[in-house]
Amino acid sequence: MYKVFVNDKPIIITSSQKKENNFPVHLLKNTVSEEIVHKLRNGKIKGVNLYTPDLEKGWELFLESFKIVSAAGGLVLNDKKEVLFIFRNGTWDLPKGRIEKGETIPETAVREVEEECGITNLKLVKPLLTTYHIYFEDEIKLKETFWFLMTSDFKGVLTPQLEEGITKVVFKNSSAIEIALQNSYKNIQMVYDSFKEG
């Protein structure tokens, strides 16, 4: 299945006929994606299942409705196995940013973490997962973010990228992470869960 968030409310694209939540079920091929997005955005529904017999074909069909913006970011561990978080617009987040022309996805992930956090010595460990959310900027856009597990033995002072609206950069231990995730995004919870599942 694929999950796409609109203000932390999910659009679940699935080929399973088993009902796993209380959200309404619609046939994907009969659905106008923009209508669903507006209903979620306006709080008329808390989530929706879009059923398609062929998951990959259905997903391609769903993506056709949106301008896709690609980004990459990292879940960074230090020597103490703490996770690097940024605080932006009143919310805890993980560092990420848009892929620039001529860059590979892993290059973007490393560059964005370095720029947003003032950190160096990053090592890519492995890809974690890809998350999706819809936002509004002149038009409806769908952001796909490729996440990587990274490590760093950086011992210097972390520097938030203020011009990106980032006011804090900190490594958090597991109990501090649980608190931060209560003021974060569903996608960030998914990234952290993916890391914990190994």
Spans of all domains in the chain: 2-63, 68-197
At residue 138 the predicted structure's pLDDT band, cuts being 50, 70 and 90, is confident
Per-residue pLDDT tens digits for 59-86: 999 999 999 999 999 999 999 999 999 9
Output the average pLDDT for the chain: 96
Interatomic CA distance for residues 115 and 111, integer angstroms = 6
Residue 20: per-residue pLDDT: 86
Residue 1 has pLDDT above 90, yes or no: yes
Per-residue pLDDT tens digits for 18-36: 888 999 999 999 999 899 9
* Percentage above 70 pLDDT, the chain: 100
Domain 68-197 superfamily per CATH:
Nucleoside Triphosphate Pyrophosphohydrolase (3.90.79.10)
Dihedral in degrees, nearest 10, Cα atoms 89, 46, 71, 30: -150
pTM as predicted: 0.94
